[in-house]
Amino acid sequence: DADVTQTPRNRITKTGKRIMLECSQTKGHDRMYWYRQDPGLGLRLIYYSFDVKDINKGEISDGYSVSRQAQAKFSLSLESAIPNQTALYFCATSDLKGQGKGQPQHFGDGTRLSIL
């Protein structure tokens, strides 16, 4: 079983719809992240959370919101989807103590989102 699970894996929807992408992890990590990947732009950080009560905006948070329901769950919402939010979305996790020792972030398999 994957340590970082994203659902759904693929989603096609229409402009204006509300969409939620979910991420759950079994690694016991305290930090969770949402990224967006577009061709030629690498990965860009949308939101990140260091614990249930800590939510931070990344570089491209406009049009998105998040919820950290539990240490293991971090969901990303698009309140009113628009076509330029079509992208591949990744959830990642890390551990504060491990990060101090240089452990990398661990990524889920991604959600491919298409907005028509």
Partner 1 sequence: ELKVEQNPLFLSMQEGKNYTIYCNYSTTSDRLYWYRQDPGKSLESLFVLLSNGAVKQEGRLMASLDTKARLSTLHITAAVHDLSATYFCAVDSPSGSRLTFGEGTQLTVNP
Residues that bind partner 1 (CB under 8 A): 33, 35, 40-45, 48, 50, 56, 58, 90, 99-100, 102-110
- Distance between CA atoms of residues 19 and 82, nearest Å: 11
CB of 32 to partner 1, least distance (A): 12
Identity of the residue, 42 or 84, whose beta carbon is nearer to partner 1 in the bound complex: 42
Closest CA to 76 of 91, 86, 87, 88: 91
- Supply 32's token pair: 């969770």
Q: Which is nearer to partner 1, 2 or 116 (CB)?
A: 2
Shortest distance, CB of residue 78 to partner 1, whole angstroms? 21
Q: Tell me the closest approach of the beta carbon of residue 87 to partner 1, in angstroms.
A: 14
Is the Cβ of residue 10 or residue 84 nearer to partner 1 in the bound state? 10
Q: Report the distance separating Cα 66 and Cα 26, nearest Å.
A: 19
Task: Answer for the pair 25, 3: CB distance below 8 angstroms, yes or no.
Answer: yes
